[in-house]
Amino acid sequence: MIKIAPSILSADFANLERDIRRISTADYVHVDVMDGLFVPNITIGIPVVAAIRPATDLPLDVHLMIDRPVRYVEQFCRAGADIVTVHVEADSQENTLRALDIIRGQGKRAGVVLKPATPAQAALPFLDRCGMVLVMTVEPGFGGQSFMADMMPKLAQLRAWIDERGLDCELEVDGGIDPVTARTAVENGAAVLVVKGGPGGEEQCVAGARPLEEVPDIEPGEVYLYGPGENTVYLKKDGSVEIRGSRVSVTGELSVDGQLTVNGRPYAPCDC
């Protein structure tokens, strides 16, 4: 089962509760915390996590892009985070292990994050303590970057290690997920996709990927892509695309460069 974690980074922060409620059919709410030190941007902190906790029943997937996160992981857990991931690059191995133990001690799921330049091997000392490993497919700190396909060998290697050890550990990807890259990530072992949430996600139209075991007329194990609006976009194994919804039911195809076309013309966000 592929899970979808819309990020609130692209939400309207003046209407954050509204935008979080709009993604109620997702699996997680992805919360990007940046301190302006570990990454060159500042976003939100513990008070905002505590404020949005009552706004949703979905698990809060809190990604800490902060220096020496061991100092704050307990506070984020107490504020309402359900999953807390910390960067292996943000502190020593000893302190990272301690941070994971603190998170687990709070009854939460702990995880580590790898920046693009960090090899898969950097996760090995922590895997047995992790309920999630997050692979960044963009440089952390800013949204809107392009998907880094050269991260797929790292993703596949981590998937192999997780499966070999029989770990209860989800493999998540974050950065540049769209109709084409979602499929690429899933094929290389991703189980959780961080996607744009809020107004940005609606404009993007296609939000993520899931297996289709329970969808009529689609073979089990196929992947679909869907938008937060009324329509659902199915990406089938043969590369064809079917769009279903209350306003449209058409068939399209993906070109070799990833362009989705419907009835011979590009499928634009307004088609949703």
Active-site amino acid positions:
32, 174
In angstroms, rounded to a whole number, what is the distance separating the alpha carbons of residues 92 and 87? 10
DSSP the chain: --EEEEEGGGS-GGGHHHHHHHTTTSS-EEEEEEBSSSSS-B---HHHHHHHGGG-SSPEEEEEE-SSGGGTHHHHHHHT-SEEEEEGGGS-HHHHHHHHHHHHHTT-EEEEEE-TTS-GGGGGGGGGG-SEEEEESS-TT-SSPPP-GGGHHHHHHHHHHHHHHT---EEEEES---HHHHHHHHHTT--EEEEE-HHHHHHH---EEEE-TTSTTS-TT-EEEE-SSS-EEEE-TTSEEEEESSS-EEEEEE-TTS-EEETTEE--GGG-
Q: Which tokens in the block code for residue 147?
A: 């998907």
Contact 203, 269 (CB under 8 A): yes
